Structure 1
Amino acid sequence: MIRHVVMFRWKPDFEESRRREWYDRLLELPGKIDVIRSLSAGPDVLRSGRSWDVVLVADFDSLEDVGVYTDHPDHQPLIALSGAGAAQIASVDFEIPEPPGSIA
């Protein structure tokens, strides 16, 4: 399984309504893109100096599925919106073991 983690720092002038639009549309993606095994996201609650504004964590069965997600037409507008609103974006994709007792 592949875990896809993306952190965003928003530009100060990225309006709250646009942030909410991005977030709401993001949470709709699992119902639109069947290769998403799980997806969670949320704003930082600690707000420390090293915190990012929001994080996305999604799991996929394979790297190929990450590619399907990345290129999916329902995902592309969110890439554009976050690209316009983010001062910084960091991501990492890594393998995680299947949970014990699962069938691969």
Structure 2
Amino acid sequence: MIVHIVLFKLKEATAENVEAARQRLLSMDGKVELLRHLEVGVDLIRSERSADIALYTKFDSLEDLQAYQVHPYHANEVAAYMRSVCSSVVAADYEV
């Protein structure tokens, strides 16, 4: 199993913007069939070093993760939106 974690820092982290981004990420559920697990969390601490939103996903294989990256819904609806509202994005991928 492959875990894919992404941390997003929004340009404007208002409660409304954070919720809109969270909902956009959650919208992949049922639309991206390669996802084996989807979890989206909003930061509680809100420190200087904190990300605003965390995405935690799981895939059956590295090939499925790579296919997810170019999946039309992920690439065109979710990733494009997140790039437009984020000031920084970092990710980590590992095998469990």
Q: Please, which runs of 5 or more residues in structure 2 have no aligned partner?
A: none
Q: Which residue of 1 aligns with 2:5?
A: 5
The TM-score normalised by the length of structure 2 is: 0.87
**Superposition deviation, residue 79 in structure 1:** 0.9
Task: Provide the aligned length of Structure 1 versus Structure 2.
Answer: 95
CA-based RMSD of the aligned residues comes to 1.7
Unaligned runs of 5+ in 1: 97-104
Provide the residue aligned with 1:49 in structure 2.
Answer: 48
Give the Å deviation of 1:48: 1.9
Q: Counterpart of 1:82 in structure 2: which amino acid?
A: M
In the TM superposition, residue 18 of structure 1 has moved relative to its aligned partner by 5.1
- Percent identical among aligned pairs is 36
Over 6 Å off, 4+ runs: none
CA contact (8 A) 2:6 2:54 kept: yes
* Whole-angstrom CA distance in 2 between matches of 1:18 and 1:47: 15
